[in-house]
Amino acid sequence: MSDLPSAIEIHEEGPREGFQFEKKIFPLPDRVALVNALSHTGLKQIQVASFVSPKHVPQMVDSAELFAAIEKVPGVKHTGLWLNEKGFRQASAVENVDLNGTLLFYASNAFALQNNGCGADEMRRRQDDWIQLYDGAGLAISSVYIMTAFGCNLQGEIPIEAVTENVRWVLERFGSNGRSMPAIYLADTVGWAVPTEIERRVGAVRELAPTARIGLHLHDTRGVGPANFYAALRMGVDLFDSSVAGLGGCPFAGHIHGTAAGNICTEDVVFMAHEMGIKTGIDLDGLIDAALLAERIIGRPLGGRIMHSGSLRQFREAASFEKHA
């Protein structure tokens, strides 16, 4: 247990992941209300929306309006996602967007081809252009994502070398020359990871890049997400993406049913962390209220667990009252 971190940082992805996944476009005031509720829970980073082609992702057509309408809360970063220069320029033009310099890699060639129209090698080469672009904008590069780092619905098993070759590329460009090392995220994009692979792959990345902070972007597609979260904590990982109420999923991932679970659920992992003495800085009950708001907006039962069973606070308070009555 000694390897458990004393505190972890959780980045909320629910608003972007969740509403992007849904077929319907939800009213702007509802989406604003969810982001505002999340902004008052102690979360330090919330991904609000993406700046992508409205032809491909019509749900994100009004991202600029959404950002303009949200309440800015001191200490909370409201981030956006983009996949090309046009998207980055759009995001840069919106005042409320907290720009994060992010690079994107794929461990699966087939998934890169499907999502980006180029292979994993070409995707890697393109990241040099992104570095130039971010440099030109005076934006530090804070994180790199390695997508499909644990397996791929299109390509099957992903060898560990397909992950580490991307890490080597990052090492060549960062950590010297005045470029500080970004956080390296391993993304279980389509839910193939299990704890033993979390251990193997986090271990391999850490060995290769001991100065890099490692993050995990976990999905709960096959019910292993919480176990992967715990396995990562045991490896000392202290940086996670998650979604309130378990919102989201990958619309391009080829799941056989439409209702596949999305990211690991923020309030569930916050609960787990707190109960193990790990600080998150987040108000669990406020987060549960935000999850219930998300469920009312979406209009069907969402996959989060503790939002439906309640935190232990009420039971502890009642028990304590009994004892002292």
Residue ranges that bind a second copy, judged by CB under 8 A? 1, 4, 110, 151-157, 191-192, 194-197, 199, 220-227, 229-231, 254-257, 259-261, 265, 268-269, 271-272, 275-277, 301, 303-306, 308-312, 314-316, 318-320, 322-323
Q: Considering 118, 152, 250, 265, which one is annotated as catalytic?
A: 250
Residues 6+ apart with CB under 8 A from 159: none
Is residue 20 helix, strand or coil? helix
In angstroms, what is the minimal distance from the CB of 145 to a second copy? 21
CB atoms within 10 A of CB 126: 15
Q: How far apart are CA 247 and CA 299, in angstroms?
A: 12
Q: How far apart are CA 163 and CA 200, in angstroms?
A: 11
Q: Give the residue carrying structure tokens 């992702």.
A: 57
Record the tokens describing residue 57, joined without a space: 């992702």
In angstroms, what is the minimal distance from the CB of 278 to a second copy? 10
Q: Is 152 a catalytic residue?
A: no
In angstroms, what is the minimal distance from the CB of 238 to a second copy? 16
Strands 141-147 and 214-217 turn out to be: unpaired
In angstroms, what is the minimal distance from the CB of 315 to a second copy? 5
Q: Kindly tell me which of 90 and 221 has the beta carbon lying closer to a second copy.
A: 221
Q: Kindly tell me which of 77 and 274 has the beta carbon lying closer to a second copy.
A: 274
Q: Kindly tell me which of 176 and 320 has the beta carbon lying closer to a second copy.
A: 320
Residue 144 · residue 182 · CB < 8 Å:
yes
Q: Kindly tell me which of 2 and 177 has the beta carbon lying closer to a second copy.
A: 2
Q: How far apart are CA 8 and CA 291, in angstroms?
A: 20
Q: Give the residue carrying structure tokens 């996602």.
A: 81
Q: Give the residue carrying structure tokens 């983009």.
A: 82
In angstroms, what is the minimal distance from the CB of 130 to a second copy? 29
Q: Kindly tell me which of 58 and 310 has the beta carbon lying closer to a second copy.
A: 310
Residue numbers annotated as active site = 250
